[in-house]
Amino acid sequence: MELTGADILVRCLKDEGVKYIFGYPGGAALHIYDALYRQDDVRHILVRHEQGASHAADGYARVTGEPGVVLVTSGPGVTNTITGIATAYMDSIPMVIISGQVPTHLIGDDAFQEVDALGVSRPCVKHNFLVRDVKDLATTIKKAFFIANSGKPGPVVVDVPKDVTANKTEYWYPESVAMRSYNPTIRGHTGQIKKAAKLLLSAKRPIIYTGGGVTTAGGEKELRQLVRRLDYPCTNTLMGLGCYPANDPLFIGMLGMHGTYEANMAMHDCDVMLAVGARFDDRITGDLTKFAPYAKIIHVDIDPASIGKNVGVEIPIVGDAKHVLSDLLKAIEKLDIEPNFEALKAWWNQINSWRSIDCLSYDRQSDKIKPQYVLEKLYEITSGDAFVTSDVGQHQMWAAQFYRFDEPRRWVNSGGLGTMGFGLPAAMGVRLAYPESDVVCVTGEASIIMCIQELSTCKQYDLPIKIINLNNRYMGMVRQWQEFFYDRRYSHSYMDALPNFVDLAKSFGHDGVLVENPADVEDALRETMARKDDLVFMDFITDPTENVFPMIAAGSGHNEMHLSPKAESKDAAPQERELA
Amino acid sequence: MEEKRHIISVLLENESGALSRVAGLFSARGYNIETLTVAPTDDETLSRMTIVTVGSESVVEQITKQLNKLIEVVKVLNLAQRSHIERELMLVKVRATGELRDEVKRLAEIFRGRIIDVTESIYIIELTGEGSKLDAFIDTLKVTEILELVRSGVSGIARGDSSLSISNRISKNS
Closest alpha carbon to A318 in A305, A329, A331, A328: A305
Contacts 24+ apart (CB under 8 A), A321-324: A321/A210, A321/A213, A321/A214, A321/A216, A321/A217, A321/A219, A321/A222, A321/A223, A321/A276, A321/A277, A322/A214, A322/A217, A322/A218, A322/A219, A322/A222, A323/A186, A323/A187, A323/A188, A323/A217, A324/A187, A324/A188, A324/A193, A324/A276, A324/A300
Residue A571 is assigned to a structural domain of this protein: no
Residue A563 is assigned to a structural domain of this protein: no
Verify whether the Cβ–Cβ distance B24 to A303 is below 8 Å: no
Show Cβ contacts of residue B167 under 8 Å, excluding neighbours closer than 6 positions. Answer: none
Residue A363 is assigned to a structural domain of this protein: no
Alpha carbon distance A279, B1 (integer Å): 22
pLDDT-above-70 percentage for chain A: 98
Show Cβ contacts of residue A375 under 8 Å, excluding neighbours closer than 6 positions. Answer: A398, A399, A401, A402, A403, A442, A468
**Do the beta carbons of residue A29 and residue A73 sit within 8 Å?**
yes
* 3-class DSSP assignment, residue A546: coil
Which residue in the list A126, A142, A162, A466 is annotated as catalytic?
A162
Q: Does B172 touch chain A (CB under 8 A)?
A: yes
Query: Chains A and B: how many Cβ contacts under 8 Å?
Result: 55
Residue A400 shares a structural domain with residue A259: no
pLDDT at A495: 83
Closest alpha carbon to A287 in A304, A264, A306: A264
Residue type present at position B75: K
Instruction: Kindly tell me if the per-residue pLDDT of A28 is higher than 80.
Output: yes
pLDDT at B172: 45
Q: Does A495 touch chain B (CB under 8 A)?
A: no
Residue A163 is assigned to a structural domain of this protein: yes
Residue A110 shares a structural domain with residue A134: yes
Range of the domain at A231: 190-355
Residue A526 shares a structural domain with residue A438: yes
Which residue in the list A95, A477, A551, A561 is annotated as catalytic?
A477
Residue type present at position A111: A
List chain A residues with CB under 8 Å of B58.
308
Instruction: Map out the domains of chain B as residue ranges.
Output: 4-81, 85-155
Confidence band of A336 (pLDDT split at 50, 70, 90): confident
Residue A179 is assigned to a structural domain of this protein: no
Q: What is the DSSP string of B60-120?
A: HHHHHHHHHHSTTEEEEEEGGGS-EEEEEEEEEEEE--TTHHHHHHHHHHHTT-EEEEE-S
- Tens of pLDDT along A429-487? 999 999 999 999 999 999 999 999 999 999 999 999 999 999 999 999 999 999 999 99
Confidence band of B173 (pLDDT split at 50, 70, 90): very low
Residue A164 shares a structural domain with residue A223: no
Residue A517 shares a structural domain with residue A409: yes
Residue A348 shares a structural domain with residue A490: no
Residue A133 is assigned to a structural domain of this protein: yes
Count of C-beta atoms within a 10 Å radius of residue A385: 12
pLDDT mean over A357-386? 96
B12 forms beta bridges with: B47, B73
**Do the beta carbons of residue A519 and residue A433 sit within 8 Å?**
no
Verify whether the Cβ–Cβ distance B21 to A130 is below 8 Å: no
- Tens of pLDDT along A563-575? 998 887 765 545 5
Whether residue A365 lies in the annotated active site: no
pLDDT-above-90 percentage for chain A: 94
Q: Which overall architecture, per CATH, does domain B4-81 show?
A: 2-Layer Sandwich (3.30)
List chain A residues with CB under 8 Å of B13.
181
CATH number of the structural domain spanning residue A218: 3.40.50.1220
**What are the two backbone dihedrals, phi and then psi, of residue A223, each rounded to the nearest 5 degrees?**
-60, -45
Whether residue A195 lies in the annotated active site: no
- Tens of pLDDT along B64-115? 999 999 999 999 999 988 899 999 999 999 999 999 999 999 999 999 999 9
Residue A326 shares a structural domain with residue A382: no
Domain's final residue, options A355, A382, A409: A355
Residue A419 shares a structural domain with residue A272: no
Nearest residue of chain B to residue A303 (CA atoms): B69
Residue A65 shares a structural domain with residue A104: yes
- Tens of pLDDT along A243-297? 999 999 999 999 999 999 999 999 999 999 999 999 999 999 999 999 999 999 9
pLDDT at A571: 59
Nearest to B71 among A175, A181, A303 (CB): A181
pLDDT at A578: 61
Q: Does B145 touch chain A (CB under 8 A)?
A: no
CATH number of the structural domain spanning residue A59: 3.40.50.970
Q: Does B59 touch chain A (CB under 8 A)?
A: no
Instruction: Kindly tell me if the per-residue pLDDT of B174 is higher than 60.
Output: no
pLDDT at A1: 85
pLDDT at A352: 97
Residue A282 shares a structural domain with residue A338: yes
Instruction: Kindly tell me if the per-residue pLDDT of A64 is higher than 90.
Output: yes
Residue A501 is assigned to a structural domain of this protein: yes
Assign domain B85-155 to a CATH class.
alpha beta
- Tens of pLDDT along A150-203? 999 999 999 999 999 999 999 999 999 989 999 888 899 999 999 999 999 999
Same fold, B4-81 and B85-155: yes
Cis check: omega of the bond before A550, within 30 degrees of 0: yes
Nearest to B62 among A123, A179, A309 (CB): A309
A479 forms beta bridges with: none
Residue A150 is assigned to a structural domain of this protein: yes
Q: Does A127 touch chain B (CB under 8 A)?
A: yes
Which residue in the list A50, A66, A262, A546 is annotated as catalytic?
A50
pLDDT at A491: 96
Residue A342 shares a structural domain with residue A389: no
* Domain count for chain A: 3
For chain B, the first-to-last Cα distance in angstroms comes to 45
Q: Does A146 touch chain B (CB under 8 A)?
A: yes
Q: Exposed (0-12), middle (13-18) or buried (19+): which is A287, by Cβ within 10 Å?
A: middle
Instruction: Kindly tell me if the per-residue pLDDT of B169 is higher than 60.
Output: no
Which residue in the list A2, A112, A334, A527 is annotated as catalytic?
A112
Verify whether the Cβ–Cβ distance B171 to A176 is below 8 Å: no
Q: What is the DSSP string of A36-66?
A: HHT-SSSEEEE-SSHHHHHHHHHHHHHHHSS
For chain A, the first-to-last Cα distance in angstroms comes to 73
**Between β-strands A466-471 and A439-444, what pairing exists: parallel, antiparallel or unpaired?**
parallel
Nearest to A180 among B66, B170, B173 (CB): B170
Nearest-Å Rg of the Cα atoms of chain A is 25
B13 forms beta bridges with: B46
Q: Give helix then strand counts, H and E, for chain A.
A: 24, 23
Residue A518 shares a structural domain with residue A454: yes
Q: How far is CA A521 from CA A70, A446, A468, A517, B2, in A?
A: 38, 21, 11, 7, 60
Whether residue A168 lies in the annotated active site: no
- Tens of pLDDT along B127-156? 999 999 999 999 999 999 999 999 999 999
**Average pLDDT taken over every residue of chain B:** 92
Q: Does A217 touch chain B (CB under 8 A)?
A: no
Verify whether the Cβ–Cβ distance B171 to A180 is below 8 Å: yes
Helical (H) or strand (E) element with A406: none
